[in-house]
Amino acid sequence: MTGAVVIGAGGGIGAALAEALEEEGQAVLRLARGDLDVTDETSIAAAAARAGTPELVVVATGLLHDAEHGPEKALRDLDPVWLARQYAVNAIGPALVAKHFLPIMPRTGRSVFAALSARVGSISDNRLGGWYGYRASKAALNQLIRTLAIEDKRRNDRGLVVALHPGTVDTRLSQPFQQRGRDLFQPGRAAVQLLDVLDGLRPSDSGKIFAWDGVEIAP
């Protein structure tokens, strides 16, 4: 691919993805929080207007906790404002990015629009409960990706729209929840793994969710 956009390039995974792509010789437009706010459609449209015709767009943004909130452990922890914030960043934001970036991507040949999701967004894989807002917003993202893929196939039948689970990566997002004995990837390794997954996908994989090892995740 010759031309990529990484949204969330100020974060651990986003920065590592941009660096890995540049090491491959690609021209990368890095968009961080100061350039594009996924909760502000005006800023998304402005960024798309200067992005050219990218063959790869990766949305590497996400929200799991902030200074006042963390993942909900029980019903008593549910807060409507925090739930809405998680949906705004984790689901609505990537959908708005797709709204403005998919139309400027090539109409013929291979192109890839990918958004970082999470295995906990899989409804069929939910056996532990908890993390209401993060699970639900990532499940919503996965459904949005599927729906976007169906529509975009009419625009470019070789285009890919997919969601990616990077695993647990050593970033600010996962830091409070890292556990000893579990796989923990450094951002650089995670980025290479995700790009390898994308390289191996075919047009028929559009609309699906893939883990860092290339295995498809059930919705």
Indicate the domain borders of the chain. Answer: 4-211
Task: Give the pLDDT confidence score for residue 184 in this predicted structure.
Answer: 85
Q: How far apart are CA 98 and CA 114, in angstroms?
A: 9
- The model's confidence at residue 198, banded by pLDDT at 50, 70 and 90, is very high
Specify the residue for token string 């960024």: 47
pLDDT above 50: residue 32: yes
Q: What is the mean pLDDT of residues 96-121?
A: 97
pTM of the model: 0.93
What does the pLDDT read at residue 182? 65
User: pLDDT for 42-73, tens place per residue?
Assistant: 999 999 999 999 999 999 999 999 989 999 99
Q: Mean pLDDT score of the chain, rounded to an integer?
A: 94
pLDDT digits (tens, 9 = 90+) for 158-191: 999 999 999 999 876 655 565 654 678 999 999 9
Could you tell me the maximum CA-CA distance found in the chain, to the nearest angstrom?
50
Tell me which of 3.10.20.30, 3.40.50.1980, 3.40.50.720, 3.40.50.300 is the CATH number of domain 4-211: 3.40.50.720
Question: How far from 219 is each of 21, 85, 127, CA to CA, in Å?
Answer: 29, 23, 14
